[in-house]
Amino acid sequence: MKIKIYDGHNVIGGNKIFVENNSGNTLILDFGKNFATYGKYFEEFLTPRAGSGIYDFWKLNLIPHLNGLYRKDLVLYLNDEVEQSPGVSVSALFLSHAHLDHAGFIPFIKEDIPIITSSISYKILRSLEDTGTQGMLYEYCKASEAELKQGVNEEKISKKRGSEKPRNFIFDKRGSISDFKYEVFPVDHSILGASALFMIVDGVKIAYTGDLRFHGKNRDKTDAFFDFLKSVGVDVLITEGTRVPPKDNIEKALKEGQLTEDDVKNASSDVVHKFKGKLVIADFGARNIERLETFLDVAIDSGRKLAVTLKDAYLLHLLKSEGLNLIENEALVIVESKREQKKKWVKEMSDFYKDRFITMKDIGKNPYDYILCYSYWDMPNLLDITIEDGAYIYSTSEAFSEEQMIDTLRLFNWLNYFNLKPFGVALKDGEPVFTREFHASGHASFKDLVQAIEKVKPKVLLPIHSESIETYKEYFGDSIKVHLDEELIL
């Protein structure tokens, strides 16, 4: 059998890991968007051409060159190249969670490939699909038929209206597909529905962590996964390493403290208390429901309401069927803005929660009654009200790309305009500095990871989703075999 890393090797994100058994069948572990390589060619206003299917992605080597993986109607301009590429027989795809660096390129794959994941991850993908761009390259939960439409001189690939068919999602916690015997385990991460996978392939026991942590509200789930691995034994552990340091920083990383969600709540509560009578804005990652819960608690404790965007509310609406009833909390209100168009999901929300809708003008009348869940991208909506002063709590991960740094600098222009005092980020010598006390990471610390690995003692450790995979080899030495190549044959 063979494990091949097509993406996610010595880089954070873009996981595309193929496990092929002796019969030639393949189970894929995630099929994400690598933002680093994508950003070499594209940005907000320079994007791949929708009318060419996945042609641009293929030509720029942003996706694996394989035959038998992609939807036929998306490779119409690539037929000859695809047919001459190595073939792959995909039995299923395991999706660890719904962050786009793990799920972003799922719309490209064949519509009949089963997707093993959690029902929560499915609903998060559905919220992305319903509220986002409606093109074929963004269909996570369904697949439309494509047709060629004639322009003046050139044809282009276009979605055929009314042709959508649901993809095949599997929510079973355990099962068997093409001799792949698997079991799915919920784990703690900064997005709900995150899962890890254990499977037996040709007698080899393989575990895949996806992204996880040991310090969130659901840390016991991560512990339970590694307890299970210890009890059954593992031949190959494929593990993330987002926060693994360069090998010359090992000792420092092992001594670093770890912020928890309680720490974030306490720090944020202090800010809200200091700004009594003023507007407070909380900026945190999209779909980080645990962080949303934290700020809902802060709002209730301070006698305020938590005002969320319509998109955030729609996700909470979908998660009601998962037993998460945050949308029903009377302390949560929904901000309507001029951005939302009259789409099906917007009408659905207005039908269900019409009495919970407010506008920016409502907030402007009594800004001290709210904690507003807004980010850099929502700043224009604040122009509808007058803000004398207030607080802006930056409660998300720090910028890591040049574009994100530019966006952060631009954010300060908005904050200065509205006289909002920032917390969690500051300007020093004209550069953003992230102080982190308002953000608990979605990923395990290096200390927690090595303790878990030492508990399991895999025969082979295969590190991914990290820029410092060689650190594992430096740390473990000869005690655990660390495989640093992109291909492992057993």
How far apart CA 195 and CA 240 sit, in angstroms, is 13
* Shared domain check, 270 and 235: no
- pLDDT surpasses 80 at 268: yes
pLDDT tens for residues 341-367? Answer: 778 899 999 999 999 999 999 999 999
Burial 462-486 (b: 16+ CB within 10 A, else e): bbbbbebbbbbbebeeeebebbeeb
Sign of CA dihedral 78, 80, 86, 87: positive
Distances (CA, A) of 359 to 367, 412, 417: 12, 24, 21
* Shared domain check, 34 and 115: yes
- pLDDT surpasses 90 at 168: yes
263 pLDDT tier (thresholds 50, 70, 90): very high
Pairing assessment for the beta strands 115-116 and 89-94 based on DSSP bridges: parallel
Q: How many domains, the chain?
A: 2
pLDDT tens for residues 94-118? Answer: 999 999 999 999 999 999 999 999 9
pLDDT tens for residues 283-330? Answer: 998 899 999 999 999 999 999 999 999 999 999 999 999 999 999 999
Residue at a domain's end among 414, 434, 454? 434
How far apart CA 490 and CA 485 sit, in angstroms, is 13
* E strand intervals along 292-445: 305-309, 332-336, 357-359, 370-373, 390-394, 420-423, 425-428, 431-434
pLDDT for the residue numbered 327: 96
* Shared domain check, 188 and 45: yes
Backbone angles phi, psi at 100, to 5 degrees: -70, -20
One-letter identity of residue 188: D
CATH number at residue 394: 3.40.50.10710
Whether 478 is in a domain gets the answer: yes
Whether 255 is in a domain gets the answer: no
* Shared domain check, 44 and 20: yes
Residue where the block lists tokens 């933002």: 35
* Shared domain check, 483 and 430: no
DSSP state of 191: S
How far apart CA 143 and CA 93 sit, in angstroms, is 16
Nearest of 152, 83, 75, 71 to residue 108 by alpha carbon: 71
The whole-model pTM stands at: 0.95
Whether 415 is in a domain gets the answer: yes
Whether 254 is in a domain gets the answer: no
How far apart CA 203 and CA 449 sit, in angstroms, is 26
pLDDT for the residue numbered 445: 97
The H-or-E segment that residue 208 falls in is: strand 204-208
Tell me the HSE value of 286 on the side-chain side, using a 13 A CA sphere: 19
pLDDT for the residue numbered 392: 98
pLDDT tens for residues 7-56? Answer: 999 999 999 999 999 999 999 999 999 999 999 999 888 999 989 999 99
Residue 271 sits in which domain range?
Answer: 261-434
CB 423 within 8 A of CB 436: no
pLDDT tens for residues 388-429? Answer: 999 999 999 887 777 888 889 999 999 999 999 999 999 898
- pLDDT surpasses 80 at 179: yes
pLDDT for the residue numbered 116: 98
Pairing assessment for the beta strands 460-463 and 481-482 based on DSSP bridges: parallel
Residue at a domain's end among 412, 434, 456? 434
Whether 71 is in a domain gets the answer: yes
